[in-house]
Amino acid sequence: MSTRPIRVLFVCLGNICRSPTVEGVFTAFVKQQGMAGEIEIDSCGTSDWHVGSPPDARAIRAAASRGYTIAQLRARQIRISDFDECDFILAMDRDNLLELKTVCPPHYQGYMGLFLQIAPDLGRDELPDPYYGNEHAFEQVLDLAEAASEKLLALVLRRRGWGSGSPPK
Ligand code: 4NP
């Protein structure tokens, strides 16, 4: 069995609001749990609209108010090599997931799905896009990311035992 870090990639549309926020929250949670060396976390967008840009100023501000630093992140677009390298590719909404499925090579061996589907108790499977919203929308992204992090870490750690393919039910 491979001992390389497990790779988790969060994907939204622009990679400036939702996915960098979730990256920041999950990175902090994993570090706090002492697992930083075991899991590599990244984010990207399905679009190339904001490539090279830092997260939206509202996302940076909201994250900073809870102690998460995401200002250093830079947006990038999904690339084919992500499918060779990642174990989990987690989309923020159904449009993102559909877009991913159009570029996903047939040999992809990892898990691909909606981020919030891993935490069914939250009662929603899409992370609402805050881009056209107000500050509350950015707080909601943080709330949901924090609420889902523990479940995601548990699922990721179970990954070690799967081998390739989908996780056990
Ligand atoms: P994100 O939000 O996908 O969570 O980064 C958006 C960012 C930019 C745009 C839409 C959503 N945009 O239309 O430029």
pLDDT tens digits, 94-127 = 999 999 999 999 999 999 999 999 999 999 999 9
Q: Can you tell me the mean pLDDT for 6-27?
A: 98
> What pLDDT, on the 0 to 100 scale, is given for residue 2?
54
Q: Can you tell me the mean pLDDT for 68-97?
A: 98
What average pLDDT is seen over the chain?
A: 94
> What pLDDT, on the 0 to 100 scale, is given for residue 159?
77
Report CA(55)–ligand 1 centroid distance (Å).
10
Ligand 1 neighbourhood includes 129 CB (under 6 angstroms): yes
pTM of this structure: 0.94
Report CA(18)–ligand 1 centroid distance (Å).
8
Contact 151, 119 (CB under 8 A): yes
Given a cut of 80, is residue 164 above it in pLDDT? no
Given a cut of 80, is residue 130 above it in pLDDT? yes
pLDDT band at 3 (very low <50, low <70, confident <90, very high): confident
Ligand 1 neighbourhood includes 73 CB (under 6 angstroms): no
In the chain, beta strands by DSSP E: 6-12, 39-45, 88-91, 111-114
Contact 79, 51 (CB under 8 A): no
Give 105-111 contacts, CB < 8 A, sequence gap 24+: 105/80, 107/83, 108/83, 109/164, 109/165, 110/83, 110/86, 111/87, 111/159, 111/166, 111/167
Q: Which amino acid is at 129?
A: D
The β-bridge partners of 45 are 12, 77
| Sign of the C-alpha dihedral computed for residues 100, 101, 105 and 108 taken in this order | positive
Q: Which amino acid is at 125?
A: D
> What pLDDT, on the 0 to 100 scale, is given for residue 120?
95
> What pLDDT, on the 0 to 100 scale, is given for residue 163?
47
pLDDT band at 161 (very low <50, low <70, confident <90, very high): low
Given a cut of 80, is residue 23 above it in pLDDT? yes
For residue 36 the two structure tokens come to 């930083």
The total of other beta-carbon atoms located within 10 Å of residue 132's CB is 7
Q: Can you tell me the mean pLDDT for 139-156?
A: 97
Given a cut of 60, is residue 4 above it in pLDDT? yes
